[in-house]
A and B are shown apart, each in its own frame.
Chain A
């Protein structure tokens, strides 16, 4: 009976993890170079990003939603274009003390910044960005 319970729990865990990760993962990594500098490494299911929007303060959400509205057609077109594009480095800036790279890799947009002060790596699936932005835009039509 206990064994059966463990199997069910294991299968349910795998299923939940599978569903959560079905839209890919958002990765954020920040490493400050100074002593005792910040070290952040977050890997979270991308599916949580649109859900997280619901937990933002309604007042802030409504303001952000109003501000993003005029740009929504351009944002939608950009995300639509990104979805159809092959893997590519969109922008790369190389300076003696700084390296910035914005690229598409697989289904994700990847931003890497490497300079004297810190290293930053952010990657997020296009679909998750799209869903989050749509959630944010929709917030303006929701009653406060």
Chain B
């Protein structure tokens, strides 16, 4: 009788250890998804200055709808036709997202080079401003983010909150780099809470 009790106790102990081990192994995988951060880094080596900004996308998603100011309402920004010189931004973005991967615009001038393309689910814009200290601008916007900007917004609006939500699901991405002879600006999204 005592032997049986001891064996049961041993089995129970082993089961408890197994359960604890499984929980420890699976727990982190089942935990809430990691926070996503929008990082902005401005580096000016000539002045020895550096600015780092790190904001969680979840926090930005919460704050934006609470700001109602000028053209920003409920997390959506109104695009005025007059500000865009008659260019219909929604129609333009809609045309790009439905087109196959391609190079849409290539302009080479004495003062600047511009290239707009769609590749691997991203819209890519490269601008080289030769007049302005050889300034280079690279913008990469995932198409899912473009979709989110347009899907739920009215005709003259872009849904910024939906875009932030989409951005948190697209993985690590370098969104913007601007570089000239003195400064470098980078904007990107990842799961790290620092820029180290």
Please indicate the chain A residues that have their CB under 8 angstroms from the CB of B193 in the complex.
Answer: 86-89
Is the Cβ of B66 less than 8 Å from the Cβ of A90? no
Complex CA–CA separation, A89 to B52 (angstroms)? 9
Bound Cα distance from A38 to B74, whole angstroms: 45
Grouping DSSP codes into helix (H, G, I), strand (E, B) and loop, the B interface class, with mixed when no group exceeds half, is mixed
A93 and B37 contact, Cβ closer than 8 Å, known pairs A76-B66, A77-B62, A81-B56:
no
Contacts of B194 in A (CB 8 A): 88-89
Write out the residue numbers on chain B whose beta carbons fall within 8 Å of the beta carbon of A67. Answer: none
CA distance in complex: A88, B194 (Å): 7
Contact A89 B54, beta carbon cutoff 8 Å: yes
Residues in chain B near residue A78, CB distance under 8 A: 59, 62-63, 66
Task: Report how far A119 CA is from B53 CA in the complex, Å.
Answer: 21
Kindly name the residue among B50, B59, B68 whose own CB sees the greatest number of chain A CB atoms within 10 A: B59
Determine whether A60 belongs to the interface, using a CB cutoff of 8 Å to chain B: no
- Contact between A95 and B66, CB atoms less than 8 A apart: no
Indicate whether A80 sits within 8 Å of B67 (C-beta atoms), given known contacts A88-B194, A91-B53, A96-B47: no
- Minimum CB–CB distance from A137 to chain B (whole Å) comes to 14
The residue among B54, B66, B68, B194 with the most chain A CB atoms within 10 A of its own CB is B66
13 inter-chain pairs at a CB distance below 8 angstroms, sorted by A residue, are A73-B68, A77-B65, A81-B56, A81-B60, A81-B63, A85-B56, A85-B59, A89-B193, A94-B49, A94-B50, A95-B48, A95-B50, A96-B48
Residues of B within 8 A of A76 (CB): 66
- Chain B residues, Cβ within 8 Å of A85: 35, 56, 58-59
Q: Are B67 and A74 closer than 8 Å at their CB atoms?
A: yes
Q: Give the docked Cα–Cα distance between A47 and B144 (Å).
A: 45
CB of A115 to closest CB in B, whole Å: 13
CB distance from A108 to the nearest CB of B (A): 16
| B43-100 at interface with A (beta carbon < 8 Å) | 47-56, 58-60, 62-63, 65-68
Q: Tell which of A74, A88, A92 touches B56, judged by Cβ atoms closer than 8 Å.
A: A88
User: A93 to B50, Cβ gap below 8 A?
Assistant: yes
Our pick among B35, B37, B47, B66 for the contact of A74 (Cβ within 8 Å) is: B66
> What 1/0 flags go to B12-51 for Cβ under 8 Å of A?
0000000000000000000000010100000000011111
Q: Which residues of A contact B48 (CB under 8 A)?
A: 95-96
- Asked if A84 is at the interface (CB within 8 A of a chain B CB), the reply is yes
* Residues of chain A with a CB closer than 8 A to B68's CB: 73
Chain B residues in 8 Å Cβ range of A81: 56, 58-60, 62-63
B37 touching A88, Cβ below 8 Å: yes
Q: How far is the CA of A90 from the CA of B49 in the complex (A)?
A: 17
Pairwise interchain contact A90-B37, C-beta atoms closer than 8 A: no
Contacts of A91 in B (CB 8 A): 51-54
Tell me whether A82 is interfacial, beta carbon within 8 Å: yes
Residue of B nearest to A95 (CB): B49
A128–B70 alpha-carbon span in the complex (Å):
31
How far apart sit A82 and B35, CA to CA, in the bound complex (Å)?
13
CA distance A94 to B37 in the complex (A): 20
Nearest A residue to B41 by beta-carbon distance?
A92
